[in-house]
Amino acid sequence: MRTKRAIINFITDALPQVIILILGIVKIKLFINVLGEAKLGLYQLYNQIVAYLVLIEGRNW
C-alpha cells in the first residue's frame, strides 16, 4: 500500500514536469519556424530579464 502511494506520488510529481519540458521544446521549434531566430532571441532575452527581476524582487522580502 505504501509503495503504491509512493509510485502514484512520483508519477503525479514527474508527469507535469515532463509535459512542461516537451511543451518548451515544441514552443522553441514553433518560434523558430514561424517567427525566426531573431525574434526567438528577443523573446528569450525578455524572459530572462523578467526572471532576474522576479529574483531581485523576491530577495527584498
Instruction: State pLDDT tens for residues 16-53.
Output: 999 999 998 998 888 888 888 888 889 889 999 999 99
**What pLDDT does 32 receive?**
86
When pLDDT is averaged across residues 5-24 and rounded to a whole number, the result is 92
Q: By the 8 A CB rule, do 11 and 18 touch?
A: no
pLDDT-derived band at 5 (thresholds 50, 70, 90) equals very high
pLDDT of res. 60: 65
pTM of the model: 0.57
